[in-house]
Amino acid sequence: MNSSISFSQFDNTSKIRVKKVEAFLNSVELELSPDIEVFVSAKEKSKMIACGGLSGNVLKCIAVSPEKRGEGFVLSVMTELLNAANDRGRKELFIYSTPKNIAFFEECGFQLIEECDSKIILMENSKNLKKYKNNLSRLKKDGNVIGSIVMNANPFTLGHRYLVEEAAKKSDHLHIFVVREDASDFSFKDRINLIQKGLADIENITIHEGSDYIISKATFPTYFIKDKCSINELHAKLDLSIFRNQIAPSLNITHRFVGTEPYCTVTNNYNQNMKKVLGESNPKSNNIEVIEIERKEYKDKAISASSVRALLKDKKYDELSNIVPPTTFDFLVKRI
């Protein structure tokens, strides 16, 4: 590498340097991802020529100035970025990019997980997906209808309970995946604990801890997606494609159950994408039938976790007790 090129690392508290990274990214028609914690940048004669970032275990905002592309320089940038992640104990990493970069990131030790609409890819540098699928396959159950639900439960309500009850009735066995990421009002540990307690009497279910393979909207990248109107749809399609092609076959899942969504347009659109992605003919995997279950209501209004949080904030405990199981209510009251 040219000796006049110098690399540096800094975190997101270095506001002036972050602004320079943002300006550089804008110059190559990319955006700064606001969740980056650690940056790597390269300079030549005081001019920034490359950068990259780390958010949790996801590499983001990797960019090289046009005059340095094709020189193998990107590999040096990736090496610096991987070293920065390794210094922080983050060895099992993910990267989102465009399909044209698959071969390059494979050279850097990453393997493709899924590609969506020829617009976005997700790759990892570990064999964790294979391990995850092997672990799931040990929990496989026999039956003609093997159902599934993915839930955040922030927190667990009687609405969630009703969805599980109805899905369990229609299934020989029901697999419930709890979103793992701590980007909610309640921690993953508390959320899964409330789910386990609230469903303890239902026998034909298995509750799974979520994984990095259930894609969160909080970590989904937008910095290289030019059509901002397509972001929610791309997120949904990538997340659902991974579920269909990677997760579901390990458990022989045949159905996915979801509550109707009368309030949130984004969630309702996600449900409609679910029907398309999981239900359409696909040579990679069997189709999965999506069944929408009418949401449980209280006082003519669908029960939601957001209404629980609002009642809790307003200290309306009597009303709160009507829309959450006793186990959730006890937890919430003790938390006050």
Q: Which CATH class is domain 5-91?
A: alpha beta
Per-residue pLDDT tens over the stretch 85-136: 999 999 999 999 999 999 989 999 999 999 998 999 999 999 999 999 999 9
User: CB of 21 within 8 A of CB of 39?
Assistant: yes
Contacts of 283 (CB under 8 A, 6+ apart): none
Q: What would the two tokens of residue 247 be?
A: 């997760």
Q: What CATH homologous superfamily does 130-335 map to?
A: HUPs (3.40.50.620)
Taking each helix axis as running N to C, give the angle between helix 188-198 and helix 158-170, from 0 to 180 degrees, rounded to the nearest 10. Answer: 60
Annotated domain spans of the chain: 5-91, 130-335
Of 250, 188, 240, 249, which is closest to residue 214 (Cα–Cα)? 240
Question: How far is residue 170's CA from residue 204's CA, in Å, rounded to a whole number?
Answer: 11
> Distances from the Cα of 179 to the Cαs of 228, 268, 322, in angstroms?
25, 18, 25
Per-residue pLDDT tens over the stretch 238-255: 999 999 999 999 999 999
**Mean pLDDT calculated for residue range 158-164:** 98
| Long-range contacts at 322-325 (CB < 8 A, ≥ 24 apart) | 322/158, 322/298, 323/157, 323/158, 323/159, 323/298, 324/155, 324/156, 324/157, 324/158, 325/156, 325/157, 325/158, 325/161, 325/197, 325/198
Confidence at 221, pLDDT banded by 50, 70, 90? confident
- In 226-279, at which residue ranges do the beta strands (DSSP E only) sit? 255-259
In the chain, the amino acid numbered 104 is: F
Per-residue pLDDT tens over the stretch 261-292: 877 888 888 999 999 999 987 777 889 999 99
Residue 260 scores a pLDDT above 70: yes
